[in-house]
Structure 1
């Protein structure tokens, strides 16, 4: 039992070293929000803070050159 545990330790260390880091990108997980005209009008009339958040989201993505 102890012998198998001692063999597992170096194998686990070897396997964990095989992971490659993925490059981080500011655009990962971001997508431009494009509501229809009718939805945009409804949001502007009923929830102006949310409309501002959508606009800020899209502006940030554009500044980061995501779209």
Structure 2
């Protein structure tokens, strides 16, 4: 189980790992009122106000 933190969409930076519908996504860019997220095979804009980000062992956002 991964440690997660729920934050508002505007606080997510590119490279952070986001949990959406049970899958882990990578945040790409936050523009036009949408957070753009992607995996290796799919990409989508996310308009949800709150998103779950993955935390590392130091309880800091996991950035790749």
**Please, what TM-score do these two structures have when normalized by structure 1?**
0.23
More strand by share: 2
- Look at both structures and tell me which one has the larger radius of gyration over its CA atoms: 1
**Please, what TM-score do these two structures have when normalized by structure 2?**
0.24
